[in-house]
Every structure is written in structure tokens, then in C-alpha cells.
Amino acid sequence: MTQSKVAPRHGTISEPASRANIYLEDWQANELESGKFFPATEGGLNDPFAPDDIPNEPPPADGKIASAGQDFAAQLDRPGSDWQKHPVGAGQELSVTWTFHVPHRTRRWNYFLTRQGWDPSMPLSRSQFETAPIAVFQNSGQPYWSAEDLEPADPTRHTFTLPQRQGYHVLLSVWEVADTARGFYQVIDLDFTG
């Protein structure tokens, strides 16, 4: 029996199942880590809300967003519309649950949705997503090293209203960490049915 050499750590979206949870091993789904502040492309940026937080590393490149640029997860970046999808409706409340193997002092979670008319046959890129998140859940404590409200509950659940869409869309969530330069990337494939 083959065992993973890497112990589970960090965090992933467990409900509704993210693309990583469906198609990767558990340890891989928890390791989709890259620079924070998507859709920025450069590193060394300070958080405008919390300037004492650790500056970012560069976020994943276009075409490597679903994998967070991790080679072991490159299959998640494959273009196409044949991913397993979660059925939703325009204007409905969607609840998303993050579970953590190693919680980090957390600044925020951003949720981005693909634009109207996006092209699933092309790799996921910044131009495929709305530039502003459809939902933001932010912790206010500062500075990060002494704030008491930055440790996320395990699990953490966010509920927000989905905008008007039809058909297949991708929801990207980025969990941004205050005390590192990184964030964790998860995508959920959605089918807007009504």
C-alpha cells in the first residue's frame, strides 16, 4: 500500500466540494498555496487594510489559477466544461465551508466568479473573472501578531448571494493569510440552472 509522504495540512473547501476535493488526494487539496492578493500579478505588495501584515509573494500566473501554480495539481488547470458541477440558481444563497488542517492567522477570504460570456475552452485567467470579488469576509484585528480575532473557526462557513448567471461558471475562493505572504486557492464548478 502506497502512503503519501506529505501529512495533511493547511485548508480546503469541503462543501460544496471544490475541484481539488473531487479530483486530488486530500493532502494535495489542502496544499493549493500561492501568493495572496489575486488578481494582482506582482509580489511585494502590502495589504492596504492591514499594512503590518506580511507582504505578498506573486499570485499564480494566468492558466495556473486552479492549481495555485502547484505542479502536482496541474490537472486542475485543464480547460473544458466537463468538470463535476454543483447545481445553483441565480440570486440564491450559497454556503461555502472551509476546513483546516493547520489554521493560519487569517486576514480574509475573497470569492470571485467568472464573467458573463467567459470561455470555458480557454485556461482560467484574470480576464475570465470579474475584477472585484462577489463576496469578502475580512477579519479586522491588527496587528496580526497580537490580534485575537484572526484564528478561523474550524470549520468556517460563509454564506453569500450569487449574482445573475446562466449555465456553467467557476467560483474562485482565495483564503489570505495575515502572517505569511501566501493564500490558498480553491475553485468550485457551478451550474446555474435557474
Per-residue pLDDT at 103 exceeds 80: no
Q: The domain spanning residue 79 has which CATH number?
A: 2.70.50.50
Nearest to 3 by CA among 30, 34, 26: 26
Domain count, the chain: 1
Please check whether residue 143 lies inside any domain of the structure: yes
- Model pTM score: 0.93
Q: How far, in Å, CA of 49 to CA of 59, rounded?
A: 18
Higher confidence at residue 43 or residue 4? 43
Higher confidence at residue 101 or residue 189? 189
Task: Check residue 3 and give its pLDDT.
Answer: 37
Please check whether residue 6 lies inside any domain of the structure: no
Please check whether residue 39 lies inside any domain of the structure: yes
Give per-residue pLDDT as tens, 144-155: 999 989 999 999
Give per-residue pLDDT as tens, 79-99: 999 999 999 999 999 999 999
The three state secondary structure string of 36-68 is CCCCCCCCCCCCCCCCCCCCCCCCCCCCCCCCC
- The range of the structural domain enclosing residue 185 comes to 11-192
Higher confidence at residue 117 or residue 6? 117
Please check whether residue 4 lies inside any domain of the structure: no
Average pLDDT, the chain: 93
Lowest-pLDDT range of 5-9, 37-41, 189-193: 5-9
Please check whether residue 2 lies inside any domain of the structure: no
Give per-residue pLDDT as tens, 29-38: 889 999 999 9
Three-state SS at 127: helix
